[in-house]
Structure 1
């Protein structure tokens, strides 16, 4: 009888555990498929650390960005775990906590010796980015136009080859995937350098959830992320992956 009761309790505990799915695109060193085709990376480790401090059943899936973004918009049990927090996305999601902070730059060839002192200065040249990314919106808000000084590419390979062929002068990007993108395009990372830091560009990567996420699930994730930042585990994860410590704002 005692054994039956114990089994019943265990069964009830398993059944009561909610399953949530964390999604992202491939982006080494943050999240990518390893040799065994399993998700791996610094922020994957962060999500595992969060999972250990909740009673949630957590799955991690990597997929194209557009699919991950769409699933998070329509499925309350799906969360993106490194979404750039931008003004246009602010009301579309519930933001559960900052997972990393990066900086956007105008990047150019080292052979380009022009000294940029502002984004307005760059308007005299041609800047490239990816069509449909927030960087397109940002540059257009700053006064760049496709008719004069903005070139939009369909993918990173095309964009970087335009830079190396000197069809564009600068690329707006961040420091997350620069080397990976250049290597994928068979271009030498050592041939480019950061020319201008863009201070006004959003730089916070967040765990983003559907607006109708279960409040108890959201609270567990918020609290677990805060805990691993407070007890030093988050910093230890970043150190293992050779990443710098970001400065965090208060999650809400």
Structure 2
């Protein structure tokens, strides 16, 4: 199975080099609610609906593909006509991409079980008396360490989201540091009820906008066409409808 998946990915990447100059590939990763495969094997999510809504508004053909995100980002830097959906805009990426349009805002918070009513915090310093969990290698984990959290003391790092939510729901940690909008889907996938959790404290320093973005090798006329198409979807309300369909709220700064 894994061999066939990698062959499929290689075929996609190989096709980029020979793709028509009048075609654009939208790229996404498997991250609910932006993109995932349901039990019937059908792709669904925000990015599926967004790509479908953009297609008839563009003067060139387009298609949506998924692949591991690190690979998708690198391919977009190296090749023209690849467009990343939902890329976090960070200072070190600022000059590496054409930032076509913001599409949503990601905000991390400390998430606790509703039943754990003694776990209340008003600052990161307050949280240091509790055990906080995050994903090893994520920026949020590095942020906690920079703020003075120590692994095996008040910081628990795990390899994947399912393990993070298991620690929270088994009450091995007091808080999980994550985005609650996407976290609700991860919690469900891990076999728990997202209604049993709540966002306790929003960490403003970990907020960032998600953008539709392409590499600097993509022609400017395509960039302009994509910007125009996205502006239409926002003006006619379709963009907001797509986000709300998947439980996300559009932000005023998305433009």
CA RMSD of aligned residues (A): 2.5
In the TM superposition, 1:19-168 aligns within 5 A as 19-34=23-38, 37-113=41-117, 114-146=119-151, 148-168=153-173
Aligned residues: 236
Q: CA deviation at 1:34?
A: 4.5
> Residue in 2 aligned with 1:170?
175
Q: Indicate the structure (1 or 2) with the bigger Cα radius of gyration.
A: 1
Of residues 127-136 and 63-72 in structure 1, the stretch that sits farther from structure 2 once superposed is 63-72
CA distance in 2, matches of 1:248, 1:78: 25
Q: CA deviation at 1:194?
A: 1.1
> Residue in 2 aligned with 1:213?
218
Structure 2 residue runs of 5 or longer lacking an equivalent are 1-18
Q: CA deviation at 1:241?
A: 4.2
TM-score (norm 1): 0.81
CA contact (8 A) 2:103 2:254 kept: no
CA distance in 2, matches of 1:40, 1:48: 11
Aligned-partner SS, 1:120: helix
Q: CA deviation at 1:23?
A: 1.3
TM-score (norm 2): 0.80
> Residue in 2 aligned with 1:231?
236
CA distance in 1, matches of 2:247, 2:179: 17
CA distance in 1, matches of 2:23, 2:40: 24
Structure 1 residue runs of 5 or longer lacking an equivalent are 1-14
Aligned-partner SS, 2:31: coil
Change (3 A) 1:32 1:107: same
Change (3 A) 1:78 1:139: farther
Q: CA deviation at 1:56?
A: 2.0
Change (3 A) 1:149 1:240: closer
